[in-house]
Chain A
Amino acid sequence: MIIRRISHFLCNYENIMPLFAGACMFLFMAGILLLPIQYSDSQLYPKTIDRNSTLDPYDRGGPPFTQVTIADQYPDNSPTAGLVTSFLTPFSLWLSQVTHHMGTTIVAHPGGIIDEILYNTRGLDTVVEATILFVAFAIASYIFRKV
């Protein structure tokens, strides 16, 4: 009987969104109540932020064109990790020196510096993220053209 009522409530698809939002709200409230969560000291991808750097917030330190050691989970799998840490072309190096933030943008770097860092250690992340974006564009353009 109760199942029939629940299922009757759920069969109206307009009830799904408020229900899910309510569930998320309870979850986040429980999350706040369960604080503090112990923060792991040995972070996988540690990062220091230098606000004065022209490459802020993507600066991983170290001079361009030299290898910088970056922490990763399986160093054996990506022996060249860190070689791309300061992967700047001469143009983007110049741009990052004369402007404050342009060095981090797509103007200096197709795909941005963060991708260059990530490609070596976490290659699939950037690929799937871009794929999600393209799928979303495909859906939007199909629906837009159809109307």
Chain B
Amino acid sequence: MADFIGGLPYYILEFGDELVYFTPYTITLFLLALAFTLLAIISRPERQMDIAFGGDAYRTKDISISEMRFRRFMAIACGLASMGAMVTGDIFNFTLFTAMVGITNVGIVAAVKSPHVQDAAYQYGLVALSATVPLFAGAAVYAAATGSLSMIELMKGTLPAVPLVAKAMLVTGVVGEGMAPFYAAKAEMFRAPGAPYVIMCSLSSLLIFLRVVEVVMLG
């Protein structure tokens, strides 16, 4: 029997060659992503307020309906991609879902009509774009060195060990897609009005980072 890191799975969904498994660890992350996606669906966006110092003047930044709709759509897509990345039992599917999280994060911030936010989103998009190279290269080295992409097969310990460079590539790719250590730079994007959608960027990158920790500990 495979040595499951996140506890014994409650349920394994068979999906051809791709197994989706729900261990206590993955199901926790899955429910977190699900809960936040539901919140993003039902909540209204925040309206930022600018207050002028030394005076009574203040103004509320208005968010147009089309912008709100688009960003909500992107937030839901981001939530779905995070949910998929949390429970998938396949290395290549994990990289695909991670790439989707990266591109939807760009979409959430790129819809804002502020040059400053869009500049930051552009740089972030470049990072997410270039991060796909180590991400998919990592998955390719996994397949080449072990001959399997299934995480459950990797956990059994019968396959050859995964080379360290493949794990490093996978982590670098996830770091680039999720911008995990670069929250200082993400703060530039958080100036964008519309709270629940922008927090979705942060939450999804946190979740995929937590998942990749489990993934590199296999095999």
A interface residues, Cβ below 8 angstroms from B: 7, 10-14, 16-17, 20-21, 23-24, 27-28, 30-31, 34, 37-44, 72-74, 77-78, 81, 120-125, 128-129, 131-132, 135-136, 138-139, 142-143, 146
Contacts and interface: CB of A to CB of B under 8 A. Distances in A.
B172 interface: yes
A139 B184 contact: no
A73 B184 contact: no
B149 interface: yes
Nearest to A146: B113
B103 A135 contact: yes
A23 B141 CA distance: 18
B97 A128 contact: yes
- Most A Cβ at <10 Å: residue of B73, B96, B148, B150: B96
Contact of B130 (A20, A38, A128): A20
Contacts of B131: 20
Contacts of B185: 10-13, 16
Contacts of A135: 74, 77, 100, 103-104, 107
A41 B147 contact: yes
B83 interface: no
Contacts of B99: 132
A72 B17 contact: yes
B15 to A, nearest CB: 6
A120 B127 contact: no
B134 A27 contact: yes
A17 B176 CA distance: 9
Contacts of B96: 125, 128-129, 132
A31 B169 contact: yes
Nearest to A81: B16
Contacts, number: 153
A77 B123 contact: no
Contacts of A123: 15-16, 18
Contacts of B4: none
27 contacts: A7-B184, A11-B184, A13-B120, A13-B124, A16-B179, A17-B126, A20-B127, A24-B172, A27-B169, A30-B168, A37-B141, A37-B165, A38-B145, A40-B146, A40-B160, A43-B144, A74-B16, A77-B15, A122-B16, A122-B17, A123-B18, A124-B90, A128-B96, A135-B104, A136-B103, A146-B111, A146-B113
Contacts of B182: 10, 16
A138 B16 contact: no
Contact of B93 (A41, A78, A121, A128): A128
A78 B16 contact: yes
A29 to B, nearest CB: 10
Contacts of A129: 96
